[in-house]
Amino acid sequence: MRLSRRNFLQSALSAGAAAALPAGFSACTASASKAAGRVNSAAFAGVSAKQFTTSSVVAFPKNFFWGAATAAYQTEGAWKEDSKGESIWDRFAHTPGKIKNGDTGDVACDSYHRWREDIALVRAMNLNSYRFSISWPRVQPAGSGAANSKALDYYRRLVDALLEAKVRPLVTLYHWDLPQALEDAGGWPNRDTAGRFADYVDVVGRALGDRVSDWILLNEPAGFTDLGYLEGTHAPGRKSLLDFLRATHTVNLAQGAGFRALKAARPAARVGTAFSMSPCEPATNSEEDKLAAERAHAITNTWFLEPALKGRYPEALTFLPETVMGIKSGDMEKARAPLDFIGINLYYRTIAWAPKALERIGHAQEWLFPVKMTGGEQGPKTDMDWEVWPQALYDMVMRISRNFNRPPIEITESGCAYNDAPGVDGRIQDTRRIEYHREYLGALARAMADGADVRGYHAWSLMDNFEWAEGFRARFGLAYVDFATQKRTIKESGRWYARVAADNALLPAAAAEHRQPAQ
């Protein structure tokens, strides 16, 4: 979900548990069995994701999760209904000039009332996993204290309906909608917020843990700390290097505290975090740019992962402002969270290079983190001007697999904004989105063939929704939403994805085109 969320420090910098490979993964000719065995990875050395899926059937493991993702503020609406408290996004979106076209999430997709329609989309697309988030201010209107029973009842109904439909609920506990009361008390830069988060996790875990087994603690901590506290383009809209640095450390403490709280409430729970990631490539072959790419990787991909898994901040950083960040004795042990799986949200790659000495003068960020970053320019672009680069998914999954002892991975988000509208026949011919997912899934299949332990893929998003600072103008959905009527219409990409999920395989492009549309 969205460009600015995936460029941790980008504008600020430029402005101044191992398991066996799931059984059954295979790639074979169209006439061969899907269960032909594991891919011979050597046969695909140097082969692009597009080539990989053009002439072969790529079968995924039995019990692979085919899913789609949403987030509470982007879809639920009902912003002050049933005693829900104000969130930082309610406050931010209601502030003139913050969101394009003056859009807000007050109604969004009205999923608070239309959740049955959402589940109907999930079923129509043959999905067996649905990732959604819990609204913290809906559960605890003031950010602490007793739970709002109406909120918990809503989420129980949603989860029960998913289970009845044989769909796994993959629940995100924090997807950016901090209770405004906690922001008024200091927000994420305030260490106390970590404790409040753990209390909230305990409340939800005890209420829903008899139904939900798989949990995501945080969505893209790099994104909401950078954009909310450094760049100010997202809620709560602060622009402070000090606030940003302190927020990142509090979030790492919250991740550790939340993990322990959920395990204490539900010991059998599978717990992970969804990290925004992007492989960082050097702009040139110079040693300076290669070093800059490693620094970019540390900043972009492992700032919140290494504290959880290794109890430290990334070693590629030349200087860590411990005093400014508010790091205290014993904190790194508190930040530890032996995650059961790593969620990866990935859309594109990052190009990194070393700033010149004069460029660093007067820019505190570049003294702390001597690297400049931008997106790639070689591939085709989406309607959000993001580069489509499927190799990025392969590279990122393989690096995390190598560096962290081949952990279980789920792709918790991947998608593209293409603003195709219904034609005269009412169909939404979003063929570019089909090609995006076909090629990114091909790249993912290659990574699995080369040993990565990937358990699922979640398209962003199930349906068009409120796209943060972009408002409703950027459409990422597999289903089209008419925001005037709230009518949902499955796009051609959603029909294609439904066939992939039903087959548990990618068919060759030519063969797929002759399949009957999914109903």
Radius of gyration of the chain (CA): 22
- Residues near 387 by beta carbon (within 8 Å), at least 6 away in sequence: 348, 349, 375, 376, 377, 378, 379, 380, 381
User: Is 81 one of the catalytic residues?
Assistant: no
Nearest Cα residue to 70 out of 143, 183, 176, 151: 176
Dihedral sign, Cα of residue 9, residue 215, residue 133, residue 495: positive
Q: Name the CA dihedral angle for 125, 127, 131, 132, rounded to a multiple of 10 degrees.
A: 50
Residue 93 corresponds to which tokens in the numbers above? 């979106």
Transcribe 421-483 into DSSP letters.
---TTS----HHHHHHHHHHHHHHHHHHHTT--EEEEEEE-SB----GGGTTS----SEEEET
Q: Which amino acid is at 230?
A: L
* Omega before residue 461 within 30° of 0, cis: yes
Residue 177 corresponds to which tokens in the numbers above? 């909608």
Nearest Cα residue to 372 out of 357, 387, 390: 357
CB 104 within 8 A of CB 94: yes
H or E segment to which residue 133 belongs: strand 129-133
Active-site hit among 86, 220, 439, 467: 220
Residue 420 CA to residue 430 CA, distance in Å, equals 6
CB 70 within 8 A of CB 460: no
CB 129 within 8 A of CB 218: no
Phi, psi of 476 (to 5 degrees): -105, -5
E strands within 290-393?
341-345, 350-353, 372-375
Active-site hit among 183, 387, 413, 439: 413
Q: Which amino acid is at 308?
A: A
User: Is 413 one of the catalytic residues?
Assistant: yes
Residue 111 CA to residue 155 CA, distance in Å, equals 11
CB 182 within 8 A of CB 139: no
Nearest Cα residue to 502 out of 480, 519, 489, 478: 519
Residues annotated catalytic, as ranges: 220, 413
